[in-house]
Amino acid sequence: MGLSWQQGPLAAHAVGRFLTPDPLPERLLYAEPLRRRLRVRFGGDWIADSEDVVLLHEPGRYPVAYFPDIAIEPDALRETDRVTNHAQLGPTRWLTVQRGDRHAERAAWRFADLPDYADPLRGRTAFAWRPMDAFYEEDERILGHAADSYHRIDIRRTSRHLVVRDGDRVVADTVRPRVLYESGFAPRWYVPRADVEAGALAPVEQQTFCPYKGLASYYDIGERPRAAWSYEEAWPEVHLISNFVSFEADKIAVDLDGRRLVLEPGQSVVAHGIDRDFDEVFTTNR
């Protein structure tokens, strides 16, 4: 997912390789200007607002936005005694975010003694995503994490033959699936609900959230837990998979043109918790 997540080029399990005579370091950090206006809301107020945000890409983590200290309300941060050490960036000082009667302990951080090579992060502070009320690009709320410009989704209609089986039982059979190509992932195949056997999907209560696609619902199939999922009302940007169903190839048999699909290495997803006031935002985006 993007530059350093899942199987991106800076991820620990990158699907490709850099063509260099010597191996690269195991962990490469990459910092770049976000080039978007980003704002942070906490305690009902805007506490940070800047067009000069730096995005840090770190292997195995979602991108993190660092705001210049001059763009943060001066009374919004309070020093704490907590200091941890980042293996490459040095001592990390943790801060309490406060506004009015609200406060969030250790909800922001800055690096106290950066090496020269990390100068783009000097004089900057990052905010933990979930303790904040919300993050915005201009007047649009951003969910999950800072936008990753290297993340892309393409959805294609196709006439390939996809069959899903639970033992001898055919759960789905279609020649009109849709394939979703997402940065850092192998292709994911989505089936129209009309081509899924009626009653085959047993909904489960747990849902997860994707910043790029929306709220995912899950289904058991027979004795196979959470073997399928669907974005029943996907974000407008990916409406072509809205209410389609995708199947976990490591939990149930999925054949594409007679070839058995497998879950490729590095494809497991770390599920997002749902942001505060998410239901209201989800309704707005429908």
Q: Strands 214-221 and 245-247: what pairing?
A: unpaired
Whether the CB-CB separation of 15 and 197 falls below 8 Å is answered with no
Euclidean distance between CA atoms 173 and 99, whole angstroms: 55
Q: Evaluate if residue 220 carries a pLDDT over 90.
A: yes
Q: Which of 43-52, 133-142, 267-276 has the lowest mean pLDDT?
A: 267-276
What six digits make up the tokens of 36?
A: 């978007």
Whole-angstrom distance, CA of residue 100 vs CA of residue 105 = 14
pLDDT of 286? 39
Per-position DSSP letters for the chain, written without gaps between them: -TTTSTTSTTSTT-SS----SSPPPS---EEEE--S-EEEEETTEEEEEES--EEEE-TTS--EEEEEGGGB-TTSEEEEEEEEEETTTEEEEEEEEEETTEEEEEEEEEESS--GGGGGGTTEEEE-TTTSSEEEETTEEE-SSS--TT--EEEEE----EEEEETTEEEEEES--EEEEETTS--EEEE-GGGB-TT--EEEEEEEEETTTEEEEEEEETTEEEEEEE-TT--GGGGGGTT-EEE-TTTSEEEETTEE--PPTT----PBPPPTTHHHHHHHH-
b vs e for 37-59, b when ≥16 Cβ sit within 10 Å of the residue's Cβ? ebbbbbbeeebbbbeebbbbbbb
Contact 261, 253 (CB under 8 A): no
Half-sphere exposure of 275 (CA within 13 A, CB side): 21
What the chain holds in terms of domains, given with CATH numbers, is 30-142 (2.170.150.40), 153-285 (2.170.150.40)
Asked whether residue 282 carries a pLDDT value surpassing 50, the answer given is no
162: tokens are 């996809």
For the chain, the average pLDDT equals 91
Query: pLDDT confidence of 265, banded at 50, 70, 90?
Result: low
pLDDT at 197 over 60: yes
- Give the per-residue pLDDT at 12: 81
Residue in this structure with the two tokens 């000069």, named with its chain if needed: 52
pLDDT of 254: 98
Q: Which residues pair with 249 in a beta bridge?
A: none
For 269, the token pair is 């997803």
Q: Which residue has the higher pLDDT, 6 or 92?
A: 92
Cα dist. 36→33, 87, 131 in Å?
Answer: 8, 29, 22
**What is the pLDDT, as a whole number, of residue 285?**
46
pLDDT of residue 81: 95
pLDDT average, residue stretch 61-81: 95
Distance CA 107, CA 125 (A): 11
What's the average model confidence in pLDDT over 231-259?
96
Which of 11-20, 124-133, 210-219 shows the lowest per-residue confidence on average (mean pLDDT)?
11-20
Tell which phi-psi region holds residue 212, choosing left (phi > 0), alpha (psi between -120 and 50) or beta.
Answer: alpha
Residue 283 has a pLDDT of 44
Which one, of 173, 281, 188, lies nearest residue 238 by Cα?
188
Range among 15-24, 205-214, 233-242 with highest mean pLDDT value: 233-242
When pLDDT is averaged across residues 100-124 and rounded to a whole number, the result is: 96
Q: What is the pLDDT of residue 269?
A: 59
